[in-house]
Amino acid sequence: MLNILVTGATGNVGKEVVRLLTDQDCHIYAAVRNPEQAKQRLGDSSKISYVEFDFTNPSTFINAFRQINKLFLVRPPALANIREIAPALEAAKQAGIEQIVFLSVVGAERNRIVPHSKIERYINQLEIGATFLRAGFFMQNLNTVHLEDIKTRGELFMPAGNGKTSFIDIRDIAAVAIRTLLENEHINKAYTLTGSEALTFYQVADIFTEVLNKPIKYTNPSLINFILTMRARKLPINFILIMAAIYTTTRLGLASQITPETEQLLNRPPLTMRDYVQHYQQCWLNS
Ligand SMILES: NC(=O)c1ccc[n+]([C@@H]2O[C@H](COP(=O)([O-])OP(=O)(O)OC[C@H]3O[C@@H](n4cnc5c(N)ncnc54)[C@H](OP(=O)(O)O)[C@@H]3O)[C@@H](O)[C@H]2O)c1
């Protein structure tokens, strides 16, 4: 049986990958920093083993990679330096892992500064079979990072101007990840995963307003107003700067690319923003 190790198993995409893999003919190893806590959060199942794994603690690698055929790799957002990820990749190579499916980011093939680009190149250098899933902006950022703005202030607060984003639902990314983990033909391929429509945040606000049946406004703050507001909310400066960079890219019209690859790999159209807001609506409605 195929043994698949999922890193980031308690996070947005990894959790969904674990959930979808439980219906497949494989054994899942959820690679987590705290196995007991993760088991309580994700649930106990004969199909899932929880193993301790920490990118920054090499003593966890040998046990985590033992008998693993395939690895779903998520770079934790806090680990931006390739030096923090490389030892685990080397251990994966040593352990004879056949394929890494890596959650990368759109444009990683061009933008060599982003950590994902460095990770892709490191994996290639190690000559491990790999599939790179270069994902666009997650819809689920709106029920995580931006939850409170939308829920309590009725506001989409991001400095994205009139720029469009080809949002993707993480459930579609996870479904693509499953396919690429289970079918060997995706080894040594890279896919750019986007949704099927590019929307401005004005259009997103209209969808929220209609589906939630309460006014949600895109306030389009200036970059400086955004940074100062986030500072006042005591968010870490690195996180604020990453958000500022992402929304500046959007403002410049560089986040609107739509590719056919998600649809081709799913054999169905990707989920739309309207689907997403309908499915998650309880998140933003005050109980
Ligand atoms: N947000 C977007 O729009 C977007 C778009 C494209 C690509 N991406 C990329 O997607 C990745 C994030 O994916 P996500 O949102 O699914 O993740 P996430 O929800 O932020 O979760 C991060 C995961 O990493 C784990 N983790 C943290 N530090 C760790 C360590 N030292 N060792 C092992 N595991 C550790 C966390 O586990 P614990 O439970 O132990 O904390 C958690 O499961 C990033 O690389 C990001 O750049 C994001």
Does the pLDDT of residue 25 top 80, yes or no? yes
- Across residues 272-283, what is the average pLDDT? 98
Residue type, 237: I
Q: Ligand 1: which atom is nearest the Cα of residue 104?
A: 7
- Per-residue model confidence as pLDDT tens digits over 14-24: 999 999 999 99
9 CA to middle of ligand 1, Å? 9
Fold of the CATH domain 2-135: Rossmann fold (3.40.50)
- Mutate which of 29, 63, 89, 103 for ligand 1 pocket (most atoms within 8 A of beta carbon): 103
Among 91, 58, 90, 56, residue whose Cα is nearest residue 75: 56
- Per-residue model confidence as pLDDT tens digits over 140-192: 999 999 999 999 999 999 999 999 999 999 999 999 999 999 999 999 999 99
Residues of the chain with CATH 3.40.50.720: 2-135
- Per-residue model confidence as pLDDT tens digits over 54-104: 999 999 999 999 999 999 999 999 999 999 999 999 999 999 999 999 999
- Mutate which of 6, 7, 10, 257 for ligand 1 pocket (most atoms within 8 A of beta carbon): 10
Residues of the chain with CATH 3.90.25.10: 140-164+196-256+271-283
Helices (H), 82-146: 82-94, 115-126
Q: Which residues line ligand 1 (CB under 6 A)?
A: 7-14, 32-33, 53-56, 74-78, 103, 105, 135, 137-138, 141
- Mutate which of 74, 81, 100 for ligand 1 pocket (most atoms within 8 A of beta carbon): 74
User: Residue 277: enclosing H or E segment and its boundaries?
Assistant: helix 273-280
Does the pLDDT of residue 286 top 80, yes or no? no
- Per-residue model confidence as pLDDT tens digits over 176-188: 999 999 999 999 9
- Per-residue model confidence as pLDDT tens digits over 28-49: 999 999 999 999 999 999 999 9
Q: Ligand 1: which atom is nearest the Cα of residue 53?
A: 33
Q: Ligand 1: which atom is nearest the Cα of residue 32?
A: 40
Which residue's CA is minimally distant from atom 1 of ligand 1? 138
Both tokens of 224, joined, read: 């400086």
14 CA to middle of ligand 1, Å? 8
Which residue's CA is minimally distant from atom 17 of ligand 1? 11
Please, are residues 174 and 17 in contact by the beta-carbon 8 Å criterion?
yes
Among 71, 29, 77, residue whose Cα is nearest residue 52: 29
Which residue's CA is minimally distant from atom 46 of ligand 1? 77
Both tokens of 178, joined, read: 């499953």
CATH 1.20.58.1290 fits 140-164+196-256+271-283, yes or no: no
